[in-house]
Structure 1
Amino acid sequence: MCIMLFVLCYISDSFSWWESFQLNDRYQKFFNWTTEVYSSPVYQVHPKLSVILNETHATTNPPPTTPPGPQYHVAFPQNYHFSLDQADTCKNKTPFLVLMVPVAPDNVEARNAIRQTWGKAEVVQGEVVLTLFMLGLSGQADVEKQQEKIQHENLQHQDLILSDFLDSYFNLTIKTMVIMDWLATHCNNAAYAMKIDSDMFLNVDNLVITLKKPELPKVNYLTGMLMWNSEVIRLNSSKWYVSEEVYPYPTYPPYPLGAGYVFSNDLPGKLVEISKTITPFNIEDVYIGMCLKRLGLSPSSPPDPSQFNDYHRGYNRCMFSKVITYILNSTEELVNFWTDLKKPGSPC
């Protein structure tokens, strides 16, 4: 009884209690109960994992920009481990651009559609381009059987990276930070990288042409469809709800729409290190904007903002030949639009 009173008092005193709590199977039910009390989305740990939230694995010395003070490790990527990797991919070649696609482990259809379309070419506009898929583990499936299927798929394509975080909507920040960590530790020789969702149309030719412009920054650069002065949603029935305890300000710093943004490849390591000083939450693109702000940086408007788009308003071959990104409704759209765009003859 005394223990329970102590715990309840501690919870009311500080929302950050869970950041130093050792989350494992034994405490999972208690953790779920407290999240219901706060009605605030939090991270979910795979039931087969035991992650100590107040520790991180050994890393290189942080850059001078990392301020002293509390450090937050729930989404710190080096708490997670790769069970399937493409460790030698960037050792064997020096990519100009790496396309990192977060995708659900069971969404083979989306991966195959990308392999048939914008993820197919290994050389674009004379530059080496890599396409890799980042996966976590589903909590709803038999983990061993799931890993076996993923291993078999990877034998065919050699393009899957599997980490042991729970792959869920609320863990998108973890997934994004694991992508950043992989780029920083396994592919730091690339010039640029892009985080792009699996439901996207990507005109890789236009992207590479843009990135090769001599005036484009080579460091501290991030661009895409940018959001400015976005209001924080306080309605707790929304999936984008964020409590004042997690983020106390009324608006977010500038951030790129998470569907697809491009960055110079010096940024991933800086984002990973600075993330240790920022309270994580589930809106991953906003979190990237928060990390940039803490670094003293801001996303840059693309040379032609009309090339980065949200949902398309109907397919038009000429229009799709000029853009860089569109959000699609299905994998069938991706295959059909790409096939039509690549047929012989002028698109306009």
Structure 2
Amino acid sequence: MALFSCCKFQARSCFMLLLCLTFTVSVTYYIQLPNDWISSVSDNIYSYYRNLTVHSPPRPRHMQTTDQRTTADSTPAVMSVTSRANTKATEDLMSTVAPTPYNAAYPQNYHFILDEPDKCKQENPFLVLMVPVAPHELEARNAIRSTWGNETVVQGKTVTVLFLVGLPGIKTEKQQEELNLESQKYHDLIQSDFMDTYLNLTIKTMVIMDWLATRCPQAAYSMKVDSDMFLNLDNMMNLLLAPETPRINYITGMVMWNRPVIRDPASKWYVPQELYPEDYYPTYLLGMGYIFSNDLPKKLVEVSKDIQPFNIEDAYVGTCLKKLGIAPSTPPNPSQFKAYFNGNYQREEFQRVITTILSSPQQLIKFWQDSRRPT
């Protein structure tokens, strides 16, 4: 027993000695590293971990099992969705100790890679439809090109449609080559050099505003419209051509009043207090699709220099509008901006709306073709 106790004591002593030596060597190596390198690595690992655990990006829309949009009462329809880990992407990200993907929203921090700078000079549009879409969502773009995106003249007014993408995050070289070819074929693709992620939707929206301000100031109106939307351009043109519709400082859509800021880190709509300290957002328009007079993009870009960005893009635009002293307008018929249709297709309903959310490119093609057929 005494011999066993002695051996046990010696083993423990050896282990403690080894632990001390390891600690001493680690500290010696650590203090020899440049301080700025140490700080950079520490900060980047923290940023990556925070984004991975708090801001995990949602699955692409076509892979989601439920719709995650905010409904008219700003309550998420479903607060959690099934997600899958992309092991290779995570390993690649950690191997480079990548910084947080969310940067400044001021759009002139970014540059256009693919551009159509003369599009508005050539077409002189009355209305420009800007569609933010993920680089890989070719099917969504083609569905729009074959439906409402193909309506170039409505009630005698020229309409131009453009798609805005950022940098692809997967299969980068192959996807970029495909985007280049698509741009050469259709001449309706704009690409900027921000990472195209859910967290960067605010950047994406402000880049749209920058393009409109610098490339297309002559248009009368513009619309930011998501790629999964049904759009009835006849009804929209009726609204824009109405004598009472303002020509400046005008923005309308589905109006959101007194929406609380979500502080739950498990929520897709989580915003930390350091990014937006107020408890409620100012009045804003739901990001699925809002129409605005084309004097606003330049004003929004300019004021965004002084407003801290946060990751809820439509509420951020509302914050910029508040700073400008411009209030969103309630549309004459609010029911024309529908977050969802009731699930049962009714032709008459789609002939009444301006816009509503659909679930797939195939559904857009089917409903649009039926709503356009002669009665």
Q: Mark yes or no: TM-score above 0.5.
A: yes
Q: 1:114 touches 1:120 (CA, 8 Å); kept in 2?
A: yes
Please give the secondary structure, in 2, of the residue aligned with 1:301: coil
Work out which of the residue numbers 22, 32, 47 in structure 2 matches 1:31. 47
Work out which of the residue numbers 306, 312, 319 in structure 2 matches 1:277. 306
Is 1:136 matched with 2:166? yes
Counterparts in 2 of 1:49-88, with a 5 A limit?
74-88=104-118
What is the CA distance between 1:145 and its match in structure 2? 2.4
Counterpart of 1:258 in structure 2: which amino acid?
G
Work out which of the residue numbers 308, 312, 319 in structure 2 matches 1:290. 319
Work out which of the residue numbers 260, 284, 288 in structure 2 matches 1:259. 288
What is the CA distance between 1:343 and its match in structure 2? 1.0
CA change 1:337–1:31 in 2 (3 A) is same
Cα distance in 2 for residues equivalent to 1:292 and 1:202: 25
Cα distance in 1 for residues equivalent to 2:151 and 2:140: 17
Cα distance in 2 for residues equivalent to 1:241 and 1:252: 13
Counterpart of 1:32 in structure 2: which amino acid?
Y
Which residue does the alignment assign to 1:17?
A: none
Q: 2:205 touches 2:313 (CA, 8 Å); kept in 1?
A: yes
What is the CA distance between 1:236 and its match in structure 2? 0.8
Cα distance in 1 for residues equivalent to 2:240 and 2:331: 10
Work out which of the residue numbers 219, 240, 250 in structure 2 matches 1:221. 250
Counterpart of 1:108 in structure 2: which amino acid?
L
Counterpart of 1:161 in structure 2: which amino acid?
I
Moved more, 207-216 or 149-158: 149-158
Higher helix share: 2
CA change 1:139–1:27 in 2 (3 A) is farther
Please give the secondary structure, in 1, of the residue aligned with 2:165: strand
Which residue does the alignment assign to 2:183?
A: 154
Cα distance in 2 for residues equivalent to 1:36 and 1:83: 28
TM-score using structure 2 length: 0.75
What is the CA distance between 1:3 and its match in structure 2? 11
Which residue does the alignment assign to 1:171?
A: 200
CA change 1:36–1:158 in 2 (3 A) is closer
Cα distance in 1 for residues equivalent to 2:265 and 2:31: 32
**1:52-111 CA deviation, whole Å, 9 max, x = no partner?**
x9xxxxxxxxxxxxxxxxxxx711111111111010101113211000000011101000
Which residue does the alignment assign to 1:97?
A: 127
Q: 1:41 touches 1:282 (CA, 8 Å); kept in 2?
A: no
Where in structure 1 are there 5+ consecutive unaligned residues? Answer: 8-20, 54-72
**1:261-309 CA deviation, whole Å, 9 max, x = no partner?**
0000000011011111111011100000000001111100011111101
What is the CA distance between 1:173 and its match in structure 2? 0.3
Cα distance in 1 for residues equivalent to 2:32 and 2:150: 58
Q: 2:168 touches 2:176 (CA, 8 Å); kept in 1?
A: no
Cα distance in 1 for residues equivalent to 2:189 and 2:351: 29
TM-score using structure 1 length: 0.81
Percent of matched pairs sharing the same residue = 55
Which residue does the alignment assign to 1:246?
A: 275
Please give the secondary structure, in 1, of the residue aligned with 2:286: strand
- After the TM superposition, which segments of 4 or more aligned residues of structure 1 sit over 3 Å from their partners? 1-4, 25-31, 33-37, 39-42
Cα distance in 2 for residues equivalent to 1:178 and 1:282: 14
In the comparison of the two structures, how many residue pairs are matched? 303
**1:135-184 CA deviation, whole Å, 9 max, x = no partner?**
11122222x32221111112221110111110010000000000000000
Structure with the larger RCO, 1 or 2 (CA within 8 Å, 6+ apart) = 1
What is the CA distance between 1:33 and its match in structure 2? 4.2
Please give the secondary structure, in 1, of the residue aligned with 2:124: coil
Is 1:206 matched with 2:235? yes
Q: 1:200 touches 1:327 (CA, 8 Å); kept in 2?
A: yes
**Root-mean-square deviation over aligned CA pairs:** 2.8
Which residue does the alignment assign to 2:83?
A: none
